[in-house]
Amino acid sequence: MAAHLPEPRPGTGWTVRPRPEPDGYTTAVSRALELIGDGELRKVVLARALELTGDHPVAVPALLTRLVHADPAAHAFAADVTAPGDPAPRTLVGASPELLVSRRGALVVANPLAGSAPRAGDETLDRERVARLRDSAKDLGEHAHTAAQVAEVLGRFCADLDVPERPEVIGTPTMWHLSTRITGRLRDPLDPACSALGLAEALHPTPAVCGVPAPRALTAIADLEPEDRGYYAGMVGWSGLDGDGEWAVTIRSAEVCDRTVRLFAGAGIVPGSDPDAELAETSAKFRTLLRALGLEHLV
């Protein structure tokens, strides 16, 4: 029960290693903007990491419980990703706001998110931020790349597809996001390619975690990000024998191994992006996990 859940320990005894340092991230964003200006890219998502090491092993069940209570609407998960050579069990844990795809019978739903603003925690300021996000040409353009690609992919499998003309704004405890809920009805639910997993594989990676065009964005990510993303920006979920299932994008996540927590957060770089603003966006996205660890003051 929430009432009996121990509070996270205060952030003493933790070491924090940003990878890269903030200046390194803003430099990478500037380089990405040069590629966009040269016409090589229309969008690329650049991520950065925080590696935290504490005095005691991290209790994954308690961490997951805090994430669920903080945002019951999120897609919460904890998956064993232990690899050879790990000194202890390794768990991918998180609370993703982004549904990659779900399938129930012939009904398919995807909910791409792109275009974001940090939540202020003040009602008046948050109303202003939501209004700016809803009318931001930069963020609407960034979102359009993602929604269009998701709709194009699902359109290969669906006889009917409903794509709203404009995104809505949804909120998490730390962020505001532009959101488009896309629904469709499969032509042939018995086709193995139309299983929840098959659809997820066809969709991944969306421009929300990669970029446009995807091949060039993947090359830019490999060139500009110093850290391997691990399981960040992948997909996590389930599929049944009947083809039904649900898959979420592994954002707002961390890999936990004994006393070490490795977090990632990314931001979509498009024309008009500001390096310092993108750095601030990644800091805000880190707060989902940092709050659950009692370490929000670190960013």
Residue 120 · residue 126 · CB < 8 Å: yes
- 34 given a catalytic annotation: no
Query: Which of 171, 174, 175, 199 has its CA nearest to residue 185?
Result: 199
Mean pLDDT, residues 246-270? 97
Residue 198 · residue 104 · CB < 8 Å: no
Which entry of 51, 98, 168, 227 is annotated as an active-site residue? 98
Residue 11 has pLDDT above 90, yes or no: no
pLDDT in the model for residue 12: 59
Mean pLDDT of the chain: 94
pLDDT in the model for residue 263: 96
Establish how many alpha carbons lie within 13 A of residue 226's alpha carbon, considering only the half-sphere containing its beta carbon: 15
Which entry of 40, 43, 201, 255 is annotated as an active-site residue? 43
Query: Which of 141, 142, 187, 140 has its CA nearest to residue 161?
Result: 187
Under DSSP, is residue 206 helix (H, G, I), strand (E, B) or coil? coil
- CB-based contacts of 88, cutoff 8 Å, min separation 6: 57, 257, 258
- 43 given a catalytic annotation: yes
Helix-then-strand count for the chain, H and E: 7, 16
- CB-based contacts of 296, cutoff 8 Å, min separation 6: 287, 290
Under DSSP, is residue 79 helix (H, G, I), strand (E, B) or coil? strand
Predicted structure pTM score? 0.93
Residue 64 has pLDDT above 90, yes or no: yes
**Rounded distance between C-alpha atoms, residue 143 and residue 179, angstroms:** 8
**Rounded distance between C-alpha atoms, residue 110 and residue 22, angstroms:** 33
